[in-house]
Every structure is written in C-alpha cells, then in structure tokens.
C-alpha cells in the first residue's frame, strides 16, 4: 500500500512522498480501528438489551405464577394494603 502511495507522491519529492504515505496509512488504520470499535459497541448494546428483556420476561412470569398460586384472601389483603399506601 505504501508503494502505491509513494508513486502517487513521487512528483513532490522522495522524502515528502515517504512521509505522506505513512501519514495516509496511519489515517486509514485509525479509521479501521474506530469502525471496529463502533461495531463492537453496537453488538455489546444489543446483547445487554436482549439480557434485560429476558430478565423482564422472567420476572413477569414469576409474578404471574405467584399470583395464580396465591389464595384469594391473601390477594385481597395485599390489594387493600397497596391501595392504603
């Protein structure tokens, strides 16, 4: 890659062409690293969102199960206490 860039800058002088090619190569490297970091962050966010959704669904399932297995008088007592607070 540096050879291609060196030939492009050859008219400006050999030393300038060398440093110009290095600067361009470093710029491309930084761009690639930033792009990979962005994709990794997006993947991490998607995983965290999926985990949160699974936890919410599990909590909902547990609450629904508790409500179905609790007797009517206990539910009425809890509702009264909740409405009082």
Could you list the residue range(s) of the whole structural domain that residue 44 is in? 2-84
Query: What residues contact residue 25 under an 8 Å CB cut-off, 6+ apart?
Result: 1, 2, 5
Q: What is the pLDDT of residue 85?
A: 61
For range 60-79, the mean pLDDT = 90
Summarised one tens digit per residue, pLDDT across range 1-60 is 777 777 776 666 777 778 888 999 999 999 999 999 999 999 999 999 999 999 999 999
Total number of domains in the chain: 1
In this prediction the pTM is 0.56
**Would you state the pLDDT for residue 12?**
67
Reading phi first (left if > 0) and then psi (alpha if -120 to 50, else beta), residue 13 is in: left
pLDDT at residue 14 in the model? 73
């Amino acid at each position: 890659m540096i050879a291609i860039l060196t030939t492009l800058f050859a008219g400006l002088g050999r030393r300038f062409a060398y440093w110009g090619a290095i600067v361009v190569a470093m710029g491309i490297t930084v761009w690639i690293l930033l792009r990979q970091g962005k994709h990794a962050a997006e993947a991490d966010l998607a995983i965290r969102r999926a985990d949160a959704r699974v936890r919410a669904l599990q909590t909902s399932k547990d609450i629904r199960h508790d409500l179905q297995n609790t007797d009517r008088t206990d539910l009425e007592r809890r509702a009264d206490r909740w409405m009082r607070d």
